[in-house]
């Protein structure tokens, strides 16, 4: 299994080979396409489509994120960044960032 850095290089090779946008001007599009692919993964899962289809959509998300990352910060080591972020998240409170899920939404009045 490739590391994030190896995967990033493979995606860069694919981008060049297939003639996809390969400049920093393409970053907004790549991030948007990652978001679109994430929506397709959610739709696939929600509709009960085969797991392989949902996973393929999630891999597309990873492709776009890796591609954008190499244009945003060419010298960044994603393996190191991943480990640093993982360690940071381990120091956070249980279920951090999910407080909104426990809040009751106000009920709209019918008047």
Question: What confidence tier does 101 reach under pLDDT thresholds 50, 70, 90?
Answer: low
Q: List the chain domain ranges.
A: 4-90
Torsion of CA 44, 50, 56, 57, to 10 degrees: 0
CB atoms closer than 10 angstroms to residue 30: 22
Task: Tell me the fold of 4-90.
Answer: Helix Hairpins (1.10.287)
Q: What is the pLDDT of residues 23-75, one digit of tens each?
A: 999 999 999 999 999 999 999 999 999 999 999 999 999 999 999 999 999 99
The predicted model scores a pTM of 0.84
C-alpha torsion 24→25→31→36, nearest 10: -140
84-95 confidence digits (pLDDT tens)? 999 999 998 888
Residue 97: the pLDDT is: 79
CA neighbor of 44 nearest in space, from 60, 65, 67: 60
pLDDT of the residue at 102: 64
> Whose structure tokens read 């739709």?
43
């Amino acid at each position: 299994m490739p590391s994030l850095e190896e995967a990033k290089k493979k995606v860069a090779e694919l981008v060049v080979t297939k003639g996809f946008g390969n400049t920093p001007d393409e970053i907004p599009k790549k991030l948007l396409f990652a978001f679109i692919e994430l929506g397709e993964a959610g739709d696939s899962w929600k509709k009960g489509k085969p797991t392989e289809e949902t996973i393929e959509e999630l891999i597309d998300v990873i492709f776009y994120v890796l591609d954008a990352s190499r244009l945003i910060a060419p010298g960044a080591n994603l393996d190191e960044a991943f480990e640093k972020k993982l360690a940071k998240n381990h120091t956070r409170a249980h279920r951090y960032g999910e407080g909104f899920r426990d809040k009751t939404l106000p009920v709209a009045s019918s008047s």
